Amino acid sequence: MRLLRDEQAYFQILDDFVTKRVSAAAFIARFRHQWQCDGAEGIDSVLAMSRAPHNQAGLYGRLASIDSLCRTYAHNLPSGCGYRVSEEQFRKEVESLTDSLPHPGVGRA
């Protein structure tokens, strides 16, 4: 069974974004880099429960959902075209996925 190497790194990345210390572009770059370095797309699907409702998905499922949001948001930001999706809306969506994570700092603005 594969596990994330450093869950605290994700908590810090998420906390920086939901508390507005970094922009969406910086958040996406940091989160995607961490996710790819962990090889997280190959994490055991039982742990991820990515298709479970957000209140039942564990940490891995929520991180997988955030990764999906990052890819979608980045896709909607073609070079030179400006924002098609509101950064604030993106921030709210990420925050909604982090509200009940076990780390006390994440999801609290």
Choose among 63, 67, 69, 57: nearest CA to 11. Answer: 63
pLDDT attached to residue 102: 65
Residues 28-38 have pLDDT tens digits of 999 999 988 88
Domain assignments of the chain as residue spans, ordered by start = 7-98
Given a cut of 50, whether residue 109 has pLDDT beyond it is no
Choose among 81, 2, 75, 1: nearest CA to 32. Answer: 75
Given a cut of 90, whether residue 78 has pLDDT beyond it is no
pTM above 0.85, yes or no: no
Residues 53-71 have pLDDT tens digits of 555 567 788 888 899 899 8
